Amino acid sequence: MTRKIGVLFVCTGNICRSPTAEGVLRHQAKLAGLEDRLLIDSAGTHGYHIGEPPDRRSVAAARKRGIDLSSLRARKVASGDFDRFDYVLALDRGHFDLLRAACPPGHVERLSMFLSHLGEHGLHDVPDPYYGSARDFEHALDLIERGCAALLAHIRREHFPDHG
């Protein structure tokens, strides 16, 4: 069996944006027939919610689109994640700065801004919906779905060109 390509999404507490991205990419990878070739996870820069499920509003927004986040549990980024994952994706610039500061030498090329895969000038951060309304969670999910589709297309081109 070939090595799986690892993808780690990172936000603050790992209860809104990053588990949503994890669930969306898992869903999209399954539809593309690539779920067995990817290792997909999420984590937070802070340990505020370790062991907790995603925010109920994230779960509800995703469920409406056929994506199940209910089995996911929050965790904090660990030093081994930089070895384990090929892509360590920050959901906003603050996360990127924290990850860059924690990243061991020789692994910085694994770090990137999640939305950079969209290639849209001026679009960097997935806004944190935590203190917002259901509409804010829908907006975050819209961006995450687009970002995951672009990321999956990139991974397919780079790692699985034979899988069209």
- The question of whether 11 is a catalytic residue gets the answer yes
- The question of whether 103 is a catalytic residue gets the answer no
Q: Which of 16, 17, 37, 148 is catalytic?
A: 17
- The question of whether 17 is a catalytic residue gets the answer yes
Q: Which of 84, 86, 125, 128 is catalytic?
A: 128
Q: Which of 11, 16, 103, 148 is catalytic?
A: 11
Q: What is the DSSP string of the chain?
A: -PPPEEEEEEESSSSSHHHHHHHHHHHHHHHHT-GGGEEEEEEESS-TTTTPPPPHHHHHHHHHTT---TT----B--TTHHHH-SEEEESSHHHHHHHHHHPPTT-GGGEEEGGGGG--TT-------TTS-HHHHHHHHHHHHHHHHHHHHHHHHHH-TT--
Catalytic (active-site) positions? 11, 17, 128
